[in-house]
Protein backbone atom coordinates (compact mmCIF):
# COMPACT_ATOMS: atom_id res chain seq x y z
CA UNK A 1 0.00 0.00 0.00
CA UNK A 2 1.48 3.34 -1.07
CA UNK A 3 -0.10 6.78 -0.87
CA UNK A 4 2.00 9.29 -2.81
CA UNK A 5 0.34 12.58 -1.91
CA UNK A 6 0.09 14.38 1.41
CA UNK A 7 -2.94 13.70 3.57
CA UNK A 8 -4.07 15.17 6.88
CA UNK A 9 -2.81 13.19 9.85
CA UNK A 10 -6.38 12.24 10.81
CA UNK A 11 -6.82 10.51 7.42
CA UNK A 12 -3.45 8.80 7.76
CA UNK A 13 -4.43 7.51 11.21
CA UNK A 14 -7.72 6.24 9.79
CA UNK A 15 -5.76 4.09 7.35
CA UNK A 16 -3.52 2.90 10.18
CA UNK A 17 -6.65 2.01 12.20
CA UNK A 18 -7.97 -0.07 9.31
CA UNK A 19 -4.70 -2.00 9.20
CA UNK A 20 -4.97 -2.62 12.93
CA UNK A 21 -8.57 -3.80 12.63
CA UNK A 22 -7.57 -6.23 9.88
CA UNK A 23 -4.80 -7.55 12.18
CA UNK A 24 -2.06 -6.72 9.70
CA UNK A 25 1.63 -7.20 10.41
CA UNK A 26 4.30 -4.98 8.91
CA UNK A 27 5.63 -1.45 8.96
CA UNK A 28 3.59 1.74 8.41
CA UNK A 29 5.87 4.54 7.20
CA UNK A 30 5.10 8.27 7.23
CA UNK A 31 6.96 11.02 5.40
CA UNK A 32 6.23 14.74 5.68
CA UNK A 33 6.64 17.45 3.04
CA UNK A 34 9.76 18.65 4.89
CA UNK A 35 11.40 15.21 4.82
CA UNK A 36 10.73 14.16 8.39
CA UNK A 37 9.97 10.48 8.74
CA UNK A 38 8.37 8.11 11.19
CA UNK A 39 7.21 4.55 11.33
CA UNK A 40 4.97 2.31 13.38
CA UNK A 41 5.46 -1.42 13.41
CA UNK A 42 2.39 -3.65 13.61
CA UNK A 43 2.18 -7.24 14.76
CA UNK A 44 -1.21 -8.86 14.20
CA UNK A 45 -2.86 -5.44 14.36
CA UNK A 46 -1.07 -4.28 17.51
CA UNK A 47 1.34 -1.33 17.46
CA UNK A 48 4.56 -2.71 18.92
CA UNK A 49 7.11 -0.08 17.93
CA UNK A 50 7.21 3.61 17.00
CA UNK A 51 10.02 5.86 15.81
CA UNK A 52 10.15 9.47 14.69
CA UNK A 53 13.47 10.58 13.23
CA UNK A 54 15.92 9.46 15.98
CA UNK A 55 13.29 9.38 18.74
CA UNK A 56 12.14 5.92 19.77
CA UNK A 57 9.43 4.46 21.93
CA UNK A 58 6.50 6.22 23.52
CA UNK A 59 8.23 9.62 23.13
CA UNK A 60 8.02 9.19 19.36
CA UNK A 61 4.22 9.12 19.58
CA UNK A 62 4.17 12.72 20.82
CA UNK A 63 6.22 13.80 17.81
CA UNK A 64 4.06 11.83 15.37
CA UNK A 65 0.97 13.50 16.84
CA UNK A 66 2.41 16.90 15.80
CA UNK A 67 2.62 15.94 12.12
CA UNK A 68 0.03 17.92 10.13
CA UNK A 69 0.20 16.09 6.79
CA UNK A 70 2.11 13.07 5.54
CA UNK A 71 2.52 10.56 2.76
CA UNK A 72 2.39 6.98 3.89
CA UNK A 73 3.03 3.45 2.80
CA UNK A 74 2.68 0.07 4.42
CA UNK A 75 4.76 -3.02 3.85
CA UNK A 76 3.18 -6.32 4.85
CA UNK A 77 5.76 -8.49 6.53
CA UNK A 78 6.09 -11.07 9.23
CA UNK A 79 7.37 -9.32 12.33
CA UNK A 80 10.13 -11.33 13.98
CA UNK A 81 9.32 -10.55 17.62
CA UNK A 82 6.87 -11.83 20.18
CA UNK A 83 4.00 -9.34 19.90
CA UNK A 84 2.85 -9.56 23.50
CA UNK A 85 6.21 -9.26 25.22
CA UNK A 86 7.66 -6.54 22.98
CA UNK A 87 4.83 -4.00 23.22
CA UNK A 88 3.54 -4.35 26.76
CA UNK A 89 6.61 -2.90 28.41
CA UNK A 90 6.73 0.39 26.52
CA UNK A 91 3.45 1.27 24.84
CA UNK A 92 -0.19 1.69 25.85
CA UNK A 93 -2.67 -0.53 24.02
CA UNK A 94 -3.22 0.08 20.33
CA UNK A 95 -6.68 1.65 20.68
CA UNK A 96 -5.28 4.18 23.18
CA UNK A 97 -2.45 5.02 20.77
CA UNK A 98 -4.84 5.51 17.84
CA UNK A 99 -7.11 7.78 19.88
CA UNK A 100 -4.10 9.76 21.08
CA UNK A 101 -2.75 10.26 17.53
CA UNK A 102 -6.13 11.28 16.18
In this prediction, residue 85 carries a pLDDT of 52
**What is residue 22's predicted lDDT score, i.e. its pLDDT?**
96
Closest CA to 41 of 59, 31, 56: 56
DSSP 9: H
Give the domain extent around 53: 2-101
Kindly list the distances between the CA atom of residue 52 and the CA atoms of 22, 58, 87, in Å, as whole numbers in the listed order: 24, 10, 17
pLDDT confidence of residue 92: 87
pLDDT tens-digit profile, the chain (102 residues): 677 889 999 999 999 999 999 999 999 999 999 999 999 999 999 999 999 999 998 899 999 999 999 999 999 987 666 665 555 557 889 999 999 998
- Give the per-residue pLDDT at 90: 72
Q: Residue 80: name the closest of 44, 30, 37 by CA.
A: 44
Strands 2-8 and 69-76: antiparallel
Amino acid sequence: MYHSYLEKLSDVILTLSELCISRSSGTFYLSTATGESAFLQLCQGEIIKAEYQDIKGAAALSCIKEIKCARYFFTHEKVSVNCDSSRKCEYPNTQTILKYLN
